[in-house]
Amino acid sequence: MNVHKGDTVLIISGRRADKGKRATVRQVLPDKNKVVVEGVNVMRKHTRGRSGARQAGIVEIEAPLDASKVMVVCTKCNKAVRIGHAFLADGSKARQCRNCGELIINDTDRRWAEAQERS
């Protein structure tokens, strides 16, 4: 998947209220090809009260959204872009903006942090 946790994404299709929003990816589900985005695709879940555990009522949760409905926003050109891959000098693979060629760096991406420590 080209979308990672912590990326800023643009919602390109879906509900009328959600389409065009920019938000951060909270969770990635690669086996289902879905992402959970902050404040997008909010569903209401009717919960039953448990003794001392939680209050009964209606709880709003963020439901997973298909990864094809979001595009990663490039930090340099500030546009929703397609993602390519580039090989760095040390042989590791990094995500790259197809529009401006800038490497897309995500602070929460463990692989990128390890590559920076090596160099």
Q: For residue range 70-84, list pLDDT tens digits in order.
A: 999 998 889 999 999
* Percent of the chain whose pLDDT exceeds 70: 89
Q: How many domains would you assign to the chain?
A: 2
Both 69 and 82 in one domain: the answer is: no
| 94-101 CB contacts, 8 Å cutoff, 24+ apart | 95/2, 95/4, 99/74, 100/74, 100/76
At 14 the three-state DSSP class reads coil
69 and 83 belong to one structural domain? no
Q: What is the pLDDT of residue 115?
A: 59
Q: Are 21 and 37 contained in the same domain?
A: yes
- Domain with 101, as residue range(s), is 77-119
Same-domain pairing of 65 and 44: yes
Classified as helix, coil or strand, 69 is helix
**pLDDT tens digits, residue range 37-66?**
999 999 999 988 887 777 889 989 999 999
Q: How far apart are CA 66 and CA 33, in angstroms?
A: 6
